[in-house]
Amino acid sequence: MARRTPLWDRHVARGARMVEFGGYEMPHLAVRGRAGVFDISHMGEVLLTGAGAEASVQRLVANDVARLSPGSALYGVMCTEAGGIVDDVIVYRRLQGEGGSPPPEDGFLVVVNAATREKDVAWMRAHLLADTELTDISDRIALIAVQGPGAVDIVAPLCEAEVRDLRPFRSTGARVAGIDASTSVVSRTGYTGEDGVEIYIDADRGGELWDALLDAGRDRGLVPAGLGARDTLRLEAGLRLYGQDMDESVDPYSAGLGWTVKLAKGDFCGSDALRRIAEQGPPPSASPSRDGASPATVTPSATATARPGRSPAAATPSPSATASRPPSSTRGSPAATTSTSTSAAP
Amino acid sequence: MPDLSGFRFTATHEWVETVDGGARVGITDFAQAQLGDVIFLEMPEVGTTLKAGDRFGVIESVKAASDLFVPVGGRVAEVNGALADAPERVNTDPYGEGWILRLEDVDEAGASLLDEAAYTRLTT
């Protein structure tokens, strides 16, 4: 039985053909415009609270979340003891006072992929440290992305916060389109390679928000878009997809995500294996590696075209600035490239 | 385009501008464009002494992280503290407000620097 997002009836009313994606039925409209609006409510949202929340997130995620200020987010991976990728995630340090859910200062929100949500939650629970409460709030949250060069101009007038000033990978609590909700968070994130925002709102208010966005964007060419479009957009932007570009048989270095692994922060899930891989490369059989290709073989070419304009989750499938650096330095850091799947959250 | 005639560059996309016996260091416009939106910077402690080519920090964007190497040696006299709250300045003004380090006691031994024309050839 396929699951349905809170906006299902609206998609069907518009004549959308529903197909399964990650266990959900979604509209299949491969539409590109000046801006597109996507129902990505299938993404999972996992809340970690309590005095031990930060230590737990540091253990679960290979990136260093101690650097996050309230409202800011980063991209990272969770890894098995063998160094294979359990999932790729976006981690938010929650905003003070956000959504009225106490205690805001020790809360993190981890946004996980739909297809791996149950597995992720079980794995996360099994690896939590003391004094941490984990709550899977996925079913309570609708998540709507507005993406494209015109996205911010469409959302800004509806928002009771200055979205134009919101920097990439930052979020803010704000009423949108006058809708009162216990959670209403606007985040400058996305998974299309375009500028835009993702809005987290109570599941039962998601429909109203969807309608309000489409109304507001009608004159600016805003169209509803589906996950088919989202997939081609993220692919062009060089953004990785869990299950396709990585899974538990692949370590983050082999997946080109070594830059998200912060071995210096101390021990975390998979750190022993990842330290070994970083120093020696993946062993022929023991360690996860897709096809024996050497880690971080994404070959950066210094000639890739720079993308005009700024945007979260930038578009060039590209080389980092380190393109022509000596290949010697610690693997992972200079190899960089793309990332950012998922989205952000309250 | 700012006047970069007084700047020199590395093949790893840092720039250095020597001023009054000291030097300012940052990353190039090409580098910031390739990295995308910068969200974190790790910088050295003031007082650290570095040799040309030493790794001095890490810059991280929404999609990549990259080590930073000093174009010339010297003692770190100042780091751009404003970048902690506004790392996007590296994107918006890489040769101005987005400077990263100021060095004193500059030592060019072992430095491998390009002038603007040579750097432009490297990146186009």
CATH of the domain at A144: 3.30.1360.120
Terminal alpha carbon distance of chain A = 29
Chain A nearest C-alpha distance from B59 (Å)? 9
CA A99 – CA A334 distance, rounded (Å): 38
CA A150 – CA A35 distance, rounded (Å): 5
A223 — pLDDT class (breaks 50, 70, 90): confident
Strand partners, B8: B16
Order of strands across the sheet with A171-173? A171-173, A184-187, A196-202, A141-147, A35-39, A222-225
Encode pLDDT of A92-122 as tens digits.
999 865 554 444 456 999 999 999 999 999 9
Q: Which of B58, B122, B123 sits opposite A333 (nearest CB)?
A: B58
**A272 residue type, one letter:** D
In this predicted structure, what is the pLDDT of residue A227? 80
Chain B CB contacts of A67 below 8 Å? 40
Chain A CB contacts of B122 below 8 Å? 302, 324
CA A135 – CA A227 distance, rounded (Å): 26
CA A168 – CA A139 distance, rounded (Å): 26
Q: Name the least confident of A14-23, A146-155, A283-292, B23-32.
A: A283-292
For residue A339, what are the domain limits?
1-346
CA A298 – CA A59 distance, rounded (Å): 27
Residue B91: count of CB within 10 angstroms of its CB: 20
**A:203-242 residues touching chain B, CB 8 A cutoff:** 239
Whether the CB-CB separation of A120 and A22 falls below 8 Å is answered with no
Task: State the total domains in chain A.
Answer: 1
Q: What is the mean pLDDT of residues A280-293?
A: 54
Q: Which of A72, A323, A333 sits opposite B65 (nearest CB)?
A: A333
Chain A nearest C-alpha distance from B104 (Å)? 25
Encode pLDDT of A2-47 as tens digits.
677 788 788 777 766 655 544 443 434 433 558 899 999 999 999 9
Kindly determine whether residue A333 and residue B33, on different chains, have CB atoms separated by under 8 Å.
no
Whether the CB-CB separation of A112 and A87 falls below 8 Å is answered with yes
Chain B CB contacts of A68 below 8 Å? none
Kindly determine whether residue B63 and residue A313, on different chains, have CB atoms separated by under 8 Å.
yes
Q: Which fold has domain B7-110?
A: OB fold (Dihydrolipoamide Acetyltransferase, E2P) (2.40.50)
A335 — pLDDT class (breaks 50, 70, 90): very low
Kindly determine whether residue B64 and residue A329, on different chains, have CB atoms separated by under 8 Å.
no
In this predicted structure, what is the pLDDT of residue A9? 80
Whether the CB-CB separation of A74 and A68 falls below 8 Å is answered with yes
Tokens of B91: 């994107």
Chain A CB contacts of B39 below 8 Å? 72, 74, 167-169
CA B29 – CA B40 distance, rounded (Å): 17
Tokens of A56: 């737990």
Report whether pLDDT(B54) > 50.
yes
Nearest CA in chain A to B124: A303
Kindly determine whether residue A321 and residue B62, on different chains, have CB atoms separated by under 8 Å.
no
Element (H, E) at A24: strand A24-27
Tokens of A111: 């946004």
Q: Phi, psi at residue B22, to the nearest 5°?
A: -105, -175
Higher pLDDT residue, A259 or A13?
Answer: A259
Kindly determine whether residue B67 and residue A334, on different chains, have CB atoms separated by under 8 Å.
yes
Q: How many helices (H) and strands (E) does chain A have?
A: 7, 14
Total beta-carbon pairs less than 8 A apart between chain A and chain B: 105
The residue extents of the domains of chain B are 7-110
Kindly determine whether residue A169 and residue B62, on different chains, have CB atoms separated by under 8 Å.
yes
Kindly determine whether residue A67 and residue B40, on different chains, have CB atoms separated by under 8 Å.
yes
CA B83 to chain centre: 13
CA A99 – CA A92 distance, rounded (Å): 14
| Length of chain A, in residues | 346
Q: Phi, psi at residue B26, to the nearest 5°?
A: -155, -170
Helix (H, G, I), strand (E, B) or coil at B101: strand
Whether the CB-CB separation of A35 and A154 falls below 8 Å is answered with yes
Tokens of A262: 């912060």
Encode pLDDT of A302-328 as tens digits.
223 333 333 333 333 333 333 333 333
CA A5 – CA A346 distance, rounded (Å): 18
Q: What is the DSSP string of A135-151?
A: EE-GGGEEEEEEESTTH
Chain A CB contacts of B55 below 8 Å? 329
Residue-wise burial string across B16-34, b where 16 or more C-beta atoms lie within 10 A, e elsewhere: bbbeeebbbbbbbbbbbbb
Task: Decide if B59 touches A, using CB distance below 8 A.
Answer: yes
**A201 residue type, one letter:** I
CA-based nearest residue to A343, from A199, A209, A194: A199
Q: Which of B34, B55, B66 sits opposite A318 (nearest CB)?
A: B34
Q: What is the mean pLDDT of residues A233-250?
A: 88
Chain B nearest C-alpha distance from A308 (Å)? 8
